[in-house]
Amino acid sequence: MIPASITVGDIATALNVSANGDRSRPIRAVSSLSEATGEELACLSSDQYLNEFRTTRAGAVIVGKKVKLPGDAAGNGSPALLVVDDADLSMAKVLAMFAPAIPRPPLGKHHTAFVAPSASVAEGVRVGPNVFVGDDARIGRNCVLHAGVYVGAEVSIGDDCEFFPNVVVRERITIGSRVIVHANTAIGSDGFGYRWDGKQHLKVPQIGTVIIEDDVEIGSCVCIDRAKFAATRIGRGTKIDNLVQVAHNVILGPHCILAGQSGVAGSAKLGAGVVLGGQSAVRDHVTMGDGSMLAACSGVMDDTEPKSIVSGLPAIPHRQALREHAALRKLPELVAEVRELQTQVAELTRRLQSP
Amino acid sequence: MIPASITVGDIATALNVSANGDRSRPIRAVSSLSEATGEELACLSSDQYLNEFRTTRAGAVIVGKKVKLPGDAAGNGSPALLVVDDADLSMAKVLAMFAPAIPRPPLGKHHTAFVAPSASVAEGVRVGPNVFVGDDARIGRNCVLHAGVYVGAEVSIGDDCEFFPNVVVRERITIGSRVIVHANTAIGSDGFGYRWDGKQHLKVPQIGTVIIEDDVEIGSCVCIDRAKFAATRIGRGTKIDNLVQVAHNVILGPHCILAGQSGVAGSAKLGAGVVLGGQSAVRDHVTMGDGSMLAACSGVMDDTEPKSIVSGLPAIPHRQALREHAALRKLPELVAEVRELQTQVAELTRRLQSP
Amino acid sequence: MIPASITVGDIATALNVSANGDRSRPIRAVSSLSEATGEELACLSSDQYLNEFRTTRAGAVIVGKKVKLPGDAAGNGSPALLVVDDADLSMAKVLAMFAPAIPRPPLGKHHTAFVAPSASVAEGVRVGPNVFVGDDARIGRNCVLHAGVYVGAEVSIGDDCEFFPNVVVRERITIGSRVIVHANTAIGSDGFGYRWDGKQHLKVPQIGTVIIEDDVEIGSCVCIDRAKFAATRIGRGTKIDNLVQVAHNVILGPHCILAGQSGVAGSAKLGAGVVLGGQSAVRDHVTMGDGSMLAACSGVMDDTEPKSIVSGLPAIPHRQALREHAALRKLPELVAEVRELQTQVAELTRRLQSP
């Protein structure tokens, strides 16, 4: 599935740079500096990894132009060097060259799949075994529904989407184009809303929907709940990691990043490009300004300014949190010091009173 | 699926209140004050939203009786007003009026479902595509098993339950009536228990079960483990949000609320009406008293008093936690102040010693 | 499914101890001291539970040899006593005696399962309804694939593995022998990696794999992502609880324990026997030394020493964290005390300046 042979020259051409070394050398895989063999390519993105670079046996190395290479880096037997503007970006391109194809169901509908007669399935769609597509659902061109995917009634899906096995999309959800959803994720379950009626929790009907815009990617075991009314919305280009909770009526702006196990409570609103660290939490009804960041394992209880960085629980500006942590490290001895001061001051007071 | 037309009058009748305005006005959906159109109903539950109310274009507004309406609220072109005792409770009733029907599999068993011959399936049950029902399982009246649901051998399910796609209920679990379980949840997996035998972790068999009482609702991607022996128990009317972990031998009382991503470790015991905030954690073997609350992102390590509110990590009484947070905000400058005091006291001491 | 009758004598023989009491008494189940009936066995592992022991109605009790039994513990009508070296280990053995068989699909392939013609399935394998096995996959001897399991193309699975319903293993993953994976877990989804190209998050291809070694057990709704390149690796004998996130390129050593809802970020490396508490988090690229422990609800940001115990956020040595917590409890009054000291010192200073 990987092209039969890729050479150092092929990679240099793809990255539009020159190659310092043997252009005909074959490269069969990508690896790390410390583990790469002579037929593998590695990456040196910062001076931090110069030690690994000195002893690498990689056949080729992508080098960020900021890196200060040792003088003998391009000697005999050394790896071919490809110096690039942005090592990480170039690495992404090279990984794409080596990416094996994703195994997909064949074109058309597997005979074990159930597709409602009233559903509309565009050309180029692949429907795997045991897939369910409900009444009046619409599946856009070239979509891939892997085995066991559930697409509820009246769901609308754009073009070029890929849903991995056992993804569940409940009824009446709208999904854009080029959306990727990984295995075992649930979209459109009821929001979590109850009213205590004096004897029991009365279920508040969750009659809204979920709208997922174009170019969104969603990890595995993610939950995105339908709105109480109107819509929970995931903005264009937003990326969501595994095991993330997005509650009802949440609005995520475009290009947000939600790291693994983060959670956004009901009706919270994230602006454009907001970043949530792993295991972080956003309180219900909080608004996070464009480009603001919440650190990992932190919980934000109040609105955040655009471009601010907050951390801790409750989250405060990150610099202040660092100062508090530093002070906290000194707190046990501070208590002792205050006790000592109290003794000294009592002694001084005594002496002044009885001279 | 929504009734063809609902008028302001219909809603007023359903809520048993009078309508201030045009009773014949058609209402087609529910929305927020800021987004509602003339054919939509919104809700004003507190003075906090009076600004949105002033500019709303909603056709009708449910108003909590505590809200201080502006004098001209019922003028020409204004929304019809329905003043109610409890705005949220009324809203729940109105949402039910507008709730579209949940698409369900037809009565009977889909031809791709596997139902063991020894299983007992009562009347009115709907078994969707690719459902699995194991030996000697019992499914009560009017239950709905959506596509891909797995019900293990000897599972007993009461009446009027609904299990959404790809829910897994392992063998020998007992579930009451009117229980709702959302997509991709796993009930009855082995509890997490091992014994180190000097060389490896020896698996401790988890031979118990799970008992889920009536009127429980469980979100998506929730894990409720079977007991080591005896039973993990979810009390009547308890509601569990998405991505929650309930470990082996946990006992949850009736009417508890477990918010998203919370976790309860082995053998912990929650009394009646206990509330766990999002991403909170309960240590193993801890007992939480009736009506006690654990704040979001907090972790409780010790038993809690009935009706207490605790927060932080380790969780302490919430008021104390707030005082500590306030003090922590001052800690960096407190360190500086203590340093200054030390200087002053040293100076005073020096002066007193050499007058 | 449980043997028709097990007697106290059978259990004593299995544990290789003598039984103090009636060896012929039948035992039908395992329970707790407080709930056991005369035909049930319970366990007394520490003095802490002596009160429950005094009033137990259990037919037999396993007693750890360290427990100080009351003098009349073996009187008439008392439970049969089996005194053992290690009560918990013995209990694990007894639980295994009483463990009902797990209901499994019959030998061979269910007619609704899809197994690619090029896949290799060894003898003794059980493939349940609606299972998917992709091209060139290899399933070792005696494996059990419960209903709805997805095994992607080119996956290799060793002998004696059991995958519970709806588990998803994406393409090109390698799994050892005696691996257990619980319901609704996803292995091999893409790692979470993007590069901002100035306009959007560009997906970094995740072309690596996952290697799961022998004797690993993985809970429900767990996510183990495939590597960016090379492999995410789960070491031999490691046990992973429910709802755990293991990101791309993570290396877990042998015999680690990851409790529920913990998360390990990209490229982190855990040594042998590392323990993560529930809801804890490991930052990306962090290395945790052999045998180190991260407390529940804590987040480690820096490398840990072998055998160290760390807690808090950011995690610090656990003893220090306890000292800081104790000091924090005093902080609000410390602030007041410093204010009082400031007043006293100002007064002393005033007096010294104007004698």
Task: Encode pLDDT of C270-302 as tens digits.
Answer: 999 999 999 999 999 999 999 999 999 999 999
**pLDDT above 90 covers what percent of chain B?**
90
The HSE-up count of residue C279 (CA atoms within 13 Å, CB side) is: 33
- Residue C199, class by beta-carbon neighbours within 10 Å (0-12 exposed, 13-18 middle, 19+ buried)? exposed
User: Do B87 and B118 have their domain in common?
Assistant: no
Domain termination residue (choose one: C98, C121, C145)? C98
pLDDT over 50 (residue C1)? no
B146 to chain A: closest CA residue: A150
Instruction: Assess whether A325 carries a catalytic annotation.
Output: no
| Residue B140: partners with Cβ closer than 8 Å, 6 or more residues away | B122, B125, B157, B158, B159, B160, B161, B177
User: Is A86 inside a domain boundary?
Assistant: yes
User: Do B337 and B238 have their domain in common?
Assistant: no
User: Is C185 inside a domain boundary?
Assistant: yes
Task: Encode pLDDT of B170-183 as tens digits.
Answer: 999 999 999 999 99
Cα–Cα distance between A274 and A277 in angstroms, integer?
10
pLDDT at A74: 59
Domain termination residue (choose one: A32, A66, A98)? A98
User: Do C120 and C231 have their domain in common?
Assistant: yes
Chains in contact with chain B (at least 3 beta-carbon pairs closer than 8 A): A, C
Catalytic residues of B: 248
Highest mean pLDDT among B214-218, C77-81, C86-90: B214-218
Domain termination residue (choose one: C98, C127, C154)? C98
Give the gap in angstroms from C-alpha B197 to the nearest C-alpha of chain A. 33
Task: Encode pLDDT of B89-121 as tens digits.
Answer: 899 999 999 999 999 999 999 999 999 999 999
pLDDT at A88: 87
User: Do C202 and C123 have their domain in common?
Assistant: yes
pLDDT at B120: 98
Question: Is A257 in Cβ contact with C265 (below 8 Å)?
Answer: no
User: Is A159 inside a domain boundary?
Assistant: yes
State both tokens at C228: 């960016």
In single-letter form, the type of residue at position A65 comes to K
User: Do C294 and C225 have their domain in common?
Assistant: yes
DSSP states along C321-350: HHHHHHHHHHHHHHHHHHHHHHHHHHHHHH
pLDDT over 50 (residue B1)? no
ipTM score assigned to the predicted complex: 0.94
Q: Is B92 helix (H, G, I), strand (E, B) or coil?
A: helix
pLDDT at B75: 57
Residue keyed to tokens 């309860």: B264
Question: Is B205 in Cβ contact with C217 (below 8 Å)?
Answer: no
User: Do C267 and C127 have their domain in common?
Assistant: yes
Q: Which of C178, C161, C164 is nearest to B187 (CA)?
A: C164
User: Is C1 inside a domain boundary?
Assistant: no
pTM comes to: 0.96
CB within 8 Å of chain B, chain A residues 200-239? 200-207, 221-223, 225, 228-230
The CA R_g of chain C, rounded to the nearest whole Å, is 28
Cα–Cα distance between C218 and C235 in angstroms, integer?
12
Residue A175: other Cβ atoms inside 10 A: 28
Question: Is A229 in Cβ contact with B99 (below 8 Å)?
Answer: no
pLDDT at C73: 66
Question: Is B134 in Cβ contact with C129 (below 8 Å)?
Answer: no
Q: Which of B228, B169, B222, B225 is nearest to B203 (CA)?
A: B228
Cα–Cα distance between C18 and C74 in angstroms, integer?
13
Identify the domain containing residue A32 by its residue range. Answer: 8-98
User: Do A269 and A180 have their domain in common?
Assistant: yes
What is the CATH classification number for the domain harbouring A38? 3.40.1390.10
C248 contact A CB<8A:
no
pLDDT over 90 (residue B286)? yes
What is the CATH classification number for the domain harbouring A167? 2.160.10.10
User: Do B273 and B125 have their domain in common?
Assistant: yes
**pLDDT above 90 covers what percent of chain C?**
90
User: Do B119 and B82 have their domain in common?
Assistant: no
- Tell me which of A145 and C23 has the higher pLDDT: A145
- Using a CB-CB cut-off of 8 Å, the residues of chain B touching C164 are 168, 170, 186, 189
Cα–Cα distance between B38 and B79 in angstroms, integer?
8
User: Do A132 and A81 have their domain in common?
Assistant: no
User: Do A334 and A301 have their domain in common?
Assistant: no
User: Is B1 inside a domain boundary?
Assistant: no
State both tokens at A131: 């897939």
Q: How many domains does chain A have?
A: 3
User: Is B277 inside a domain boundary?
Assistant: yes
Q: Percent helix, strand and coil across chain A, each rounded to 5?
A: 20, 30, 55
User: Is B39 inside a domain boundary?
Assistant: yes
User: Do C114 and C71 have their domain in common?
Assistant: no
Give the gap in angstroms from C-alpha C17 to the nearest C-alpha of chain B. 18
B221 to chain C: closest CA residue: C221
| Residue C251: partners with Cβ closer than 8 Å, 6 or more residues away | C232, C233, C235, C268, C269, C270
Can you say whether the dihedral through the CA atoms of A297, A298, A304, A309 is positive or negative? negative
User: Is C3 inside a domain boundary?
Assistant: no
| Residue B93: partners with Cβ closer than 8 Å, 6 or more residues away | B14, B15
Question: Is B205 in Cβ contact with C96 (below 8 Å)?
Answer: yes
C42 to chain B: closest CA residue: B229
The minimal CB distance from A192 to the residues B255, B260, B329 is found for B260
pLDDT at B77: 67
- Using a CB-CB cut-off of 8 Å, the residues of chain C touching A30 are 207, 229
pLDDT at A1: 43
State both tokens at C11: 């259990």
